[in-house]
Amino acid sequence: MELSIIVVNYNTASLVSSCLACITENIHDKAFEIIVVDNGSMDGSCRLIRERFSALCLIENVENLGFARAVNQGFRLSRGKYLLILNPDVTLTSGSVETAIHFLDGHPEVGVLLPRLLNPDGSLQFSCRTFYDFSTLLFRRTPLGKFFPHHRIIRKHLMMDWDHEDVQEVDWGLGACMFLRREALKGQDIFDERFFLYFEDVDICFRLKKEGWKVVYYPGVAMIHAHLRQSGKGIFNRAKWEHFKSLIKFYFKYRGFRPRIS
């Protein structure tokens, strides 16, 4: 088994249906499996998946266990040499998986491969980031960023002044679409389950970099990401609260927001 695709679903029936259909339509030359972990959806997602995609593995949680824990559930049942963590709002493009695996096969030092993510209109999505520091958080997580959306601190964090046309080692990238090498995980869980939602992607990239693996942005693979970004909606909501809690947990885990690799 070359690839295990793990999709976590929570009340996104239409998105997950489209995502799964796109997977089966666009992977032709690689042996793969799909594991969907449903976090207690109430919108008929599980019924839809059972009816339309009966061949895949479906884990039905009775409650929302969080993204990190759900991914780990899928990982424990997976068999692939590589893992693809995929959000339901991501659409695979033809040949993308084969190209990613070919790159990983040729670069054994890469533990995490981050594809180019595009908005639905085809524009570039700034999906790779630098590690946080206090100034980044000030501009990204307070109203200050709304007043200065193109400030140099934001541009640096989002890597906006790089054309994203070259292969480049980066600090971390969005966990919405992330290829991982099983060998790099050493049999451990993928994500730290203390993060219910958010910062699990920052954490895994930091951990693997600290162990000597490379985190690489590879523009040769492109995916479409609708990017629901629940934490960006409204003044306060559950997603914002979970983001804040994960931020605090990350800080105390590493005694800072920009931990040292060596």
pLDDT digits (tens, 9 = 90+) for 13-31: 999 999 999 999 999 889 9
Measured distance CA(173)–CA(227) in Å, rounded? 13
Measured distance CA(206)–CA(69) in Å, rounded? 18
Counting the structural domains of the chain, the total is 1
Q: Are strands 168-169 and 214-225 parallel, antiparallel or unpaired?
A: antiparallel
Report which secondary-structure segment, H or E, holds 239. helix 238-254
> According to the model, what pLDDT value does residue 150 have?
85
Structure tokens given for 98: 């084969």
How confident is the prediction for the chain on average, in pLDDT? 92
What is the domain extent for residue 75? 3-254
**pLDDT tens profile 138-164:** 888 777 888 888 899 999 999 999 999
**pLDDT tens profile 30-53:** 999 999 999 999 999 999 999 999
Checking if the pLDDT of 236 tops 60, the result is no
Over residues 212-231, mean pLDDT: 87
**pLDDT tens profile 106-147:** 999 999 999 999 999 999 999 999 999 888 888 887 778 888
> According to the model, what pLDDT value does residue 124 have?
96
> According to the model, what pLDDT value does residue 231 have?
43
Q: Exposed, middle or buried by CB within 10 Å (0-12, 13-18, 19+), for 28?
A: exposed
> According to the model, what pLDDT value does residue 143 have?
79
Residue 259 lies in a domain: no
> According to the model, what pLDDT value does residue 69 have?
97
Residue 146 lies in a domain: yes
Q: Which CATH number fits the domain that encloses residue 7?
A: 3.90.550.10
Contact 119, 41 (CB under 8 A): no
The residue length of the chain stands at 262
> According to the model, what pLDDT value does residue 228 have?
67
> According to the model, what pLDDT value does residue 142 have?
78
**pLDDT tens profile 50-76:** 999 999 999 999 999 999 999 999 999
Q: Structure pTM?
A: 0.93
Tokens 């559950």: give the residue: 238
Measured distance CA(58)–CA(49) in Å, rounded? 8
Residue 262 lies in a domain: no
Checking if the pLDDT of 229 tops 80, the result is no
Residue 112 lies in a domain: yes
> According to the model, what pLDDT value does residue 232 have?
46
Beta pairing partners, 83:
4, 180
Which residues are CB-neighbours of 35 under 8 A, at least 6 positions away? 4, 5, 6, 7, 56, 57, 59, 74, 77, 78
Over residues 208-231, mean pLDDT: 88
Residue 261 lies in a domain: no
